[in-house]
Amino acid sequence: MVTSEPVSTGGSRTTTSSTAFAGAWGLSVTQQVVSSDAPATCATTVYAAVNAAANLVGSVSEVLTTSGACDQSGTVGADRLISGVRTAYDGAAVGAAPTRGEVTMTEAVTEMSGAAKTWTVASTSVYDGLGRPVEVTDVLGRVSKTAYTPATTGGPTTRVETTNPVGWVSSTVLDPARGAELSVTDENGKVTSATYDALGRRTAVWLPNRAQADNASSPSSAFAYGVSQTQASTVTTKTLIPGGTKTTIEVVDGLGRLVQSQAPAVGSGGVNTDTAYDSQGRTVSTTRPYWATEAPNGKLFVPTSMAQVPSRTDTVFDAAGRTTASVLYTYGDETSRTRYAYPGADRTDMVPPAGGTPTSTFTNSRGEKTKLVQYQGAGIAGAGLATTYEYNPGGKMTGMVDPAGNRWAWQYDLKGNQVVADDPDSGRTVSVYDLAGNVLSTTDARGQVLAYTYDQLNRKTAKYSDSTSGALLASWSFDTLAKGKPTSSTTGAAGADTQCFRYDYLHQLTEAWTPKSSDCAPTPTTAYKVSTLYTQTTGEVSQITLPAIGGLSQERLYYVYDGVGNLDSISGSTMYGIVSYTPTGQVSQIRRGSSGKMLYTGFGYDPGTGLVNQSIDTSYVGGYVREADRRITRNAVGGIVKIASTSERAGVAADTQCFGYDGLQQLTEAWTPASGDCGASPSVAGLGGPAAYWTSYGVDAATGNRTSTTTHTAGGDTTTAYVYPAAGGVRPHAATVIGAGEYAYDASGNTVARPGQALSWDESGKLSTVTTEEGVQSRVYDAEGNVLLQTGPEVGVGSNSGRNT
């Protein structure tokens, strides 16, 4: 079969797919795809011997997928092999005739040396007399087992029990009539159960903290179905929330598609979201959530006019079913439009609203993106800035070249793991994997090797420097408190910094602390302990206790929720916060403070996009004062172009900040016009406000590097220039000189020197020390790479320290 498609440069691209058949049974032996713009591939299939008596014909024994056409001569080498898979049946060897057709072994090519392939057993399986798998062994020899009830008869299955490689047992009870899950018991014995109606639709779910036997009339979630030929059909969901129940309704059409979702609003009424479809079943219109006067009732709410709907997005299609426009309407008026065009099968042009970056995206016949062209003007014109992409025959990205000629490259093994990554800034990283795909080691451009070990469930248990016999950098332990949950994590050897964990009945984290020693047993001397409590019915956070740290006393925070499940307030001994919401659930105000001293922060939103367009800070100390009213103006793609701030506080002047961008949406200008008009070009004479400034930024469009910063003042312009290595060189995005200051980097691209500072980095590539004239600041990280302890000078070594938990 030949497929021909017109391309944007003229002419066409072709894809030829062909299949060759052979043997008495006419089975396909080769499948070839040859494209004019993508690598050719060939899949060669070998079949197991035929068992005619059992009617077992065409059992695939081996499939080799290679690059190049099938008629290429010579033996397939490592440079051409994409993948190789072999299958054996019924305990026999590869290629032997099957007796039942049960796959008992699969093998994959994991390495090649010349033309010699290394076949590795990927899995083996054992089946019961009914053909159900009861034992599966993975590539590392780890065994998982499955048992069925009844075990030997042909009756419907009522229970399935699974045992993982470490012996944990979980089970599922099934409805024998439909196979629906009635209850699931996890490896810790926690049970989730469900009920169904006569049509097999789920009607209720009980989570492990609400046993069905004790809460028959009060499940965690309940579902009801209303089907009608005269009005809208619905699915009603009632979900427990802190302090009550939340009811949401989905209104569906005759094809079961969602046309309106209804949820309770904050305060009164409802929050609706609409979806509309065309005659082809495509989504042509969606709305953002909008407020309706009626609470959810299952009746289709139809606005009398689109002018009542704050935000609606319509999608326009051409006759070929391709999107040609995405149009945003605000209260019924068009406010932005993104256009799409298709000059050829290989190219899609996108022109966004003003302020965005027009692009052309090129794809090959396999659907892989091969080039992205960005234009700095308002439309598709000129050469643009092109980024190109390369792929191997298996579809993995192997290269990317930016508009300046800087190149990224990746290499993969036969299992699809990325084994080499070449980055122009961070250099080469080499990774080694085990057969299950776990990273065993990485070597960065500094030559620093990190080695890892894993448990039987593929969870990382240790990280070492250089090799697994080298210095221990971090370790993790699991399962002693709850199966599948971390018990502790440790940085360094001998428990240098250990974090310990504890869980509640639902296995939610209730305590995390750093002990004085490596022992995780909590004691009165336990340091830096954070405790968390949760609501009994829903598992929402209800209380957090923070440790005394940095001169601050212990603090206990209480969380309260409103009638629709939103966080309503946070209170503590020294603080109090109340959160208010718009009817559709956006934060409208945050109130902080206590004892007659309050700070209110209010927010306004653009009705079409939902982005913040106003922020108001109001203080209360014996009276209300609007400290700052910030009005935010954005362009049509959401970029901030103006912030106008006023204040009721005496002596605080109004302030307007303006921002300009280039065609790639990179900041190029920022200034404060005295007139408040951002439409006029900036000038020194026209600056004003309490902190007048005008700064221009030079940007290299091809790399995104900042090339200069210019400060404009009445005394003249001051320019700071940035110097980078040449494109295509080493670290082309790392400035070596900024103004009069010089910068140096290690082989992995980490900054090691900058004016007044020397920096060092640990084995994991985390900032370790910063040395200045005043002394050394150092950091210690937890096992996950978060800052755990920072000590260092503001003036003198050791004068400032802090710990994060």
| DSSP letter (8 states) at residue 392 | -
pLDDT value for 792: 80
Q: Residue 794, exposed/middle/buried by CB under 10 A (0-12, 13-18, 19+)?
A: exposed
User: Distance between CA 775 and CA 797 in Å, rounded?
Assistant: 5
Span 40-86, pLDDT tens digits: 999 999 999 999 999 999 999 999 999 999 977 556 777 889 999 99
Amino acid at 600: Y
Residue 537 CA, chain-centre distance (Å), reads 29
In this predicted model, what pLDDT tens digit does every residue of 775-802 receive, in sequence order? 999 998 899 999 888 888 653 333 334 4
* Residues linked to residue 328 through DSSP beta bridges, in sequence order: 313, 336
pLDDT at 800: 37
Buried b (16+ CB within 10 A) or exposed e, 11-40: eebebeeeeeeeeeeebeebbbbbbbbbbb
State the pLDDT at residue 797.
35
Give dist(CA 238, CA 222) in Å, integer: 5
The pLDDT tens digits for 365-394 are 999 999 999 999 999 999 999 999 999 999
> Is 585 within 8 Å of 566 (Cβ atoms)?
yes
Q: What is the pLDDT of residue 526?
A: 66
Is the Cβ–Cβ distance between 83 and 414 less than 8 Å?
yes
pLDDT, tens digit, 9 for 90 and up, residues 439-497: 999 999 999 999 999 999 999 999 999 999 999 999 999 999 999 999 999 998 655 68
Cα–Cα dist 113/474, whole Å: 36
Beta strands in 8-141 (DSSP E): 12-22, 27-35, 41-47, 60-67, 81-89, 103-113, 116-127, 133-137
Task: Dig out the tokens for 17 from the structure.
Answer: 């797919």
Q: What is the CA radius of gyration of the chain?
A: 32
d(CA 641, CA 667): 10
Q: How confident is the model at residue 514 (pLDDT cuts 50, 70, 90)?
A: confident
Across 5-18, average pLDDT: 95
Residue 544 CA: distances (Å) to CA of 358, 502, 511: 48, 14, 10
Nearest-angstrom CA–CA distance, 411 and 417:
8
Task: Provide the phi-psi class of 762: left if phi over 0, else alpha when psi is between -120 and 50, else beta.
Answer: beta
- Say if residue 88 is exposed, middle or buried (CB neighbours under 10 Å; 0-12, 13-18, 19+): buried
| Cα(140)–Cα(124) distance, integer angstroms | 11
> In the Cβ-directed half-sphere of 372, how many Cα atoms lie within 13 Å?
14
Amino acid (one-letter) located at 566: N
3-state secondary structure of 442: strand
- Per the CB < 8 A criterion, the answer to whether 576 and 569 are in contact is yes
DSSP helix/strand/coil, 516: coil
CB 392 within 8 A of CB 399: no
**Number of residues written out for the chain:** 805
pLDDT > 90 fraction of the chain, expressed in percent and rounded: 88
Residue 171 has pLDDT above 80, yes or no: yes
Q: Is 792 helix (H, G, I), strand (E, B) or coil?
A: strand
Report the alpha-carbon distance of residue 200 to residue 468 in Å, rounded: 53
Is pLDDT above 50 for 325? yes
**What is the token pair recorded at 381?**
């014109």
The pLDDT of residue 193 is 98
In whole angstroms, what is the distance from residue 326 CA to residue 335 CA? 11
Cα gap 23→780, rounded to integer Å: 67
3-state secondary structure (DSSP) of residue 178: coil
Strands (E), 364-468: 369-374, 385-391, 397-401, 407-412, 418-423, 427-433, 439-443, 449-454, 460-465
Q: What confidence tens digit (pLDDT) does each residue in 264-276 have?
A: 999 999 999 999 9
Query: What is this structure's pTM?
Result: 0.93
Residue 159, phi then psi, degrees to nearest 5: -155, 140
Q: Using 50, 70 and 90 to split pLDDT, how confident is the model at 517?
A: confident
pLDDT at 533: 96
Write down the pLDDT at residue 74: 57
Lowest mean pLDDT among 107-116, 285-294, 320-329, 518-527: 518-527
Instruction: Collect all residues with Cβ–Cβ distance below 8 Å to 751 and sequence separation of at least 6.
Output: 734, 743, 744, 745, 759
pLDDT score, position 594 = 79
User: Is the Cβ–Cβ distance between 157 and 149 less than 8 Å?
Assistant: yes
Per-residue pLDDT, averaged over 219-239, amounts to 95
What value does the mean pLDDT take over residues 686-714?
A: 97
As a whole number of angstroms, the distance between CA 325 and CA 341 comes to 9
DSSP per position, 569-613: EEE-SS-EEEEEE-TTS-EEEEEEEETTEEEEEEEEE-TTT--EE
In the prediction, which pLDDT does 524 show?
57
pLDDT tens-digit readout, 630-649: 999 999 999 999 999 999 99
Q: What is the pLDDT of residue 550?
A: 77
Other beta carbons within 10 Å of 772? 12
Q: Looking at the predicted structure, is the pLDDT value of residue 674 above 70?
A: yes
Please report how many Cα atoms fall inside a 13 Å half-sphere around the Cα of residue 169, on the Cβ side. 7
Nearby residues of 220 by Cβ (< 8 Å), 6 or more positions away? 205, 206, 207, 210, 239, 240, 537, 538
**Residue 492: predicted pLDDT:** 80
The residues pairing with 547 across neighbouring beta strands, listed in sequence order, are none
Q: What is the pLDDT of residue 75?
A: 67
Question: Do you find a cis peptide bond into 547, omega within 30 degrees of 0?
Answer: no
Amino acid at 782: D
Q: pLDDT tens digits for 90-143?
A: 999 999 999 999 999 999 999 998 889 999 999 999 999 999 999 999 999 999
CA 31 to CA 130: how far, in whole Å? Answer: 34
pLDDT score at 496: 65
Q: Are residues 140 and 436 in contact, defined by beta-carbon separation less than 8 angstroms?
A: yes
DSSP string across 87-123: EEETT--TTSPPSS--EEEEEEEEEEETTEEEEEEEE
Average pLDDT value for the chain: 94
